[in-house]
């Protein structure tokens, strides 16, 4: 075979060789570049969504703070919904979850504030049903009747007591409030003359600490302003509830709500308990806190009713002016431990001193002191036969904090709410850990 002739094997191998496309040589690099570009696009898209969510969060805060116009379309609820739709695909990120959680919490608080007029009657009725539930249970077990029957009886008793209060006590309270306002306004000039003749103010003015006439004028204006508010307090309360039709509708619905709440109280209570988080998979802390609050409120209400009756009757027998107002004030402020009795004593003594005499002021102080001793020695040990488990300093601190945040309502709920918080803290204490080592310097 001539040397120049190709062999069959070599010809086949030469035919099988296919030249490579230059673009194929760089295909791994192109794939990596495309993947990197896609990743950048995805990151940029997520960044735009997060930025839009932050903007909507700020807009929602602005809408919450600024009163909406009459024909405005935007509202915090709509802005919050748009934020949820925008951020929901990125809910796997911790920052996005934190933004959704904080926005949802603020939106929930804003909604509760807006519907507070609707929620307050339901909350008050539930509290009343909570206090009356043991009576319903006792009647049901004793007479072996369906639960709806004792619920109807208890609801009828509550409505009857309320109607009697409106027909009998409310006119007397209004008359005494009006008379007290007139008497206070009538004594303003006498008080001014007494202050002008006082040597104490002269001595303070001579020392350069105050201006006598300016102090007298400010004190006189303050007394007139406060006295003028007294007879209109009930009218302002009714006006705050809304229109007359709204008040009538509310009064008509309360008995119905109370009946159904008492009738289905176990189911309602179970549903509310399920809304709270668990500690170690259990909710025993809610049972303990509920027991504390229930006994506290039942006992305090019973003691307040006894205090109102005792103080009012004794002051009426001693012919003390405005005996009913002082008695009601003693019963209401009795719900505020440690501070309420002191406030009642000071206010009652001032009313008796200004509008009566020294003798009447001493009688008021003696009656209130006797009632306080009766509560501490007889009523509280026998009616509130338990320990809330709070130190006196913690009670005073809770009263100041809740009073500052919520006013008079905060003073009324300070002790039970503090007991609930402490009970919940004790339940979660073993579950809570704080490890700061992971936040150390790298």
Kindly tell me if the per-residue pLDDT of 47 is higher than 50. yes
Q: What gap in Å lies between CA 91 and CA 82, rounded to an integer?
A: 14
Extract the tokens encoding 357: 């005499």
My answer on whether 110 and 211 are in the same domain is: no
What's the pLDDT score for residue 172?
Answer: 79
Residue 368 forms part of a structural domain:
yes
Indicate the pLDDT class of residue 12, thresholds 50, 70 and 90.
very low
Tokens of 109: 């608080």
Residue 259 sits in the same domain as residue 371? no
Note whether 141 and 81 are same-domain residues.
no
Tokens 């992971």 correspond to: 438
Regarding whether 227 and 159 lie in a shared domain, the answer is yes
Are 243 and 125 in the same domain? yes
* Averaged pLDDT of the chain: 76
Q: What pLDDT is recorded for position 232?
A: 56
pLDDT at 267 over 60: yes
Give the residue, 184 or 328, on which the prediction is more confident: 328
Predicted pLDDT of residue 218 = 72
Closest to 204 measured CA to CA, from 192, 193, 216: 216
Nearest alpha-carbon partner for 53 in 84, 78, 77 = 84
* Claim to verify: residue 121 and residue 109 sit in the same structural domain: no
Going by pLDDT thresholds of 50, 70 and 90, the confidence category of residue 220 is low
pLDDT at 151: 94
**What would the pLDDT profile of 186-206 be if each residue is shown by its tens digit?**
666 566 666 666 565 666 666
Same domain, 129 and 216: yes
Burial annotation 239-256 (CB, 10 A radius, 16+ → b, else e): eeeeeeeeeeebeeebbe
Tell me the range of 80-89, 214-223, 353-362 where mean pLDDT is highest. 80-89
Q: What is the count of structural domains for the chain?
A: 3
Choose the final residue of a domain: 238, 265, 292: 265
pLDDT at 56 exceeding the cut of 60? yes
Indicate whether 27 belongs to any domain. no
pLDDT given at position 16: 45
pLDDT over 50 (residue 213) = yes
Q: Among residues of the chain, what percentage have pLDDT more than 70?
A: 68
2 domain residue, yes or no: no
How confident is the model at residue 136, as a pLDDT?
93
List the single range of 29-38, 189-198, 314-323 with lowest mean pLDDT: 189-198
Q: Is residue 291 part of a domain?
A: yes
Average pLDDT of the segment spanning 263-276: 84
**Is 153 a member of any domain?**
yes
Give domain status of residue 24, yes or no: no
Taking alpha carbons only, the member of 251, 193, 181 closest to residue 219 is 193
279 or 173: which carries more pLDDT confidence? 173
Rounded to whole angstroms, the Cα distance separating 348 from 330 reads 9
Are residues 292 and 422 located together in one domain of the fold?
yes
Tokens at residue 377, please? 């020695």
**How many whole angstroms separate alpha carbon 258 and alpha carbon 30?**
73
Of 265, 293, 311, which residue sits at a domain end? Answer: 265
Higher-confidence position of 245 and 218: 218
285 and 409 housed in the same domain: yes
Domain boundary, last residue among 114, 139, 160: 114
Question: For 277-315, how does the pLDDT look when each residue is reduced to its tens digit (9 = 90+)?
Answer: 666 666 666 777 777 777 778 888 888 899 999 999 999
Containing domain of residue 407, as a range? Answer: 276-429
Percentage of the chain exceeding pLDDT 90: 10
pLDDT of 84 > 60? The answer is: yes
Q: pTM of the predicted model, to two decimals?
A: 0.62
Whole-number pLDDT of residue 163: 85
pLDDT at 38 exceeding the cut of 80? yes
| 132 and 254 within one domain | yes
Lowest mean pLDDT among 208-217, 251-260, 316-325, 369-378: 208-217
Distance CA 167, CA 172 (A): 9
Q: Is the pLDDT of residue 154 over 90?
A: yes
Neighbour-count burial of 2, counting CB atoms closer than 10 A to its CB (0-12 exposed, 13-18 middle, 19+ buried): exposed
Same-domain status, 352 and 391: yes
Q: Are residues 248 and 132 in the same domain?
A: yes
Interior angle at CA 71, CA 68 and CA 72, nearest 5: 45
What value does the mean pLDDT take over residues 31-38?
80
**Does 128 map to a domain?**
yes
Q: What is the 3-state secondary structure (H, E, C) of the chain?
A: CCCCCCCHHHHHHHHHCCCCCHHHHCHHHHHHHHHHHHHHHHHHHHHHHHHHHHHHHHHHHHHHHCCCCCCCCCCHHHHHHHHHHHHHHHCCCHHHHHHHHHHHHHHHHHHHHHCHHHHHHHHHHHHHHHHHHHHHHHHHHHHCCCCHHHHHHHHHHHHHHHHHHHHHHHHHHHHHHHHHHHHHHHCHHHHHHHHHHCHHHHHHHHCCCCCHHHHHHHHHHHHHHHHHHCCCHHHHHHHHCCCHHHHHHHHHHHHHHHHHHHHCHHHHHHHHHCCCCCECCECHHHHHHHHHHHHHHHHHHHHHHHHHHHHHHHHHHCCCCCHHHHHHHHHHHCCCCCCHHHHHHHHHHHHHHHHCCHHHHHHHHHHHHHHHHHHHHHHHHHHCCCCCCCCHHHHHHHHHHHHHHHCHHHHHHHHHHHHHHHHHHHHHCCCCCCCCHHHCCC
Q: Average the pLDDT over 209-230 and give the result.
A: 65
Instruction: Answer yes or no: is 422 within a domain.
Output: yes
């Amino acid at each position: 075979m001539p040397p120049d002739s190709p062999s069959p094997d070599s010809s086949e191998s030469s035919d099988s060789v296919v030249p490579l496309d230059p673009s194929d040589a760089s295909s791994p690099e192109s794939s990596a570049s495309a993947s990197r570009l896609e990743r950048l696009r995805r990151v940029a898209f997520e960044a735009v969504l997060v930025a839009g969510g932050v903007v909507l969060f700020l807009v929602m805060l602005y809408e919450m703070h600024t009163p909406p116009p009459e024909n405005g379309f935007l509202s915090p609820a709509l802005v919050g919904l748009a934020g949820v739709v925008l951020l929901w695909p990125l809910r796997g990120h911790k920052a996005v979850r934190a933004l959704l959680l904080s926005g949802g919490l603020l939106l929930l608080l804003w909604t509760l504030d807006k519907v507070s007029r609707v929620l307050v009657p339901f909350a008050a009725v539930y509290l009343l049903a909570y206090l009356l539930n043991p009576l319903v249970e006792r009647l049901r077990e004793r007479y072996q009747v369906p639960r709806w029957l004792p619920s109807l009886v208890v609801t009828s008793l509550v409505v009857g007591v309320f109607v009697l209060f409106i027909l009998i006590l409310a006119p007397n309270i209004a008359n005494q409030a009006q008379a007290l306002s007139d008497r206070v306004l009538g004594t303003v000039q006498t008080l001014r003359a007494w202050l002008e003749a006082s040597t104490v103010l002269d001595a303070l003015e001579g020392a350069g600490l105050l201006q006598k006439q300016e102090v007298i004028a400010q004190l006189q204006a303050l007394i007139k302003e406060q006295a003028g508010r007294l007879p209109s307090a009930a009218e302002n309360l009714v006006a705050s509830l809304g229109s007359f039709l709204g008040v009538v509708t509310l009064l008509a619905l309360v008995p119905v709500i109370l009946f159904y709440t008492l009738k289905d109280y176990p189911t309602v209570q179970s549903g509310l308990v399920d809304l709270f988080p668990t500690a170690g998979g259990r909710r025993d802390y809610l049972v303990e806190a509920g027991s504390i609050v229930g006994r506290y409120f039942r006992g305090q209400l019973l003691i307040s009713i006894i205090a109102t009756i005792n103080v009012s009757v004794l002051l009426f027998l001693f012919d003390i002016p405005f005996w009913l107002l002082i008695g009601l004030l003693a019963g209401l402020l009795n719900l505020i431990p440690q501070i309420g009795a002191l406030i009642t004593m000071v206010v009652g003594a001032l009313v008796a001193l200004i509008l009566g005499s020294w003798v009447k002021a001493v009688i008021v102080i003696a009656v209130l002191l006797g009632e306080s001793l009766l509560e501490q020695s007889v009523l509280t040990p026998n009616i509130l036969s338990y320990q809330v488990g709070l130190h006196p300093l913690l009670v005073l601190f809770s009263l100041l904090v809740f009073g500052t945040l919520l006013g008079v309502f905060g003073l009324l709920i300070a002790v039970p709410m503090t007991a609930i918080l402490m009970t919940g803290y004790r339940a979660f204490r073993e579950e809570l850990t704080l490890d700061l080592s992971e936040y150390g310097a790298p």
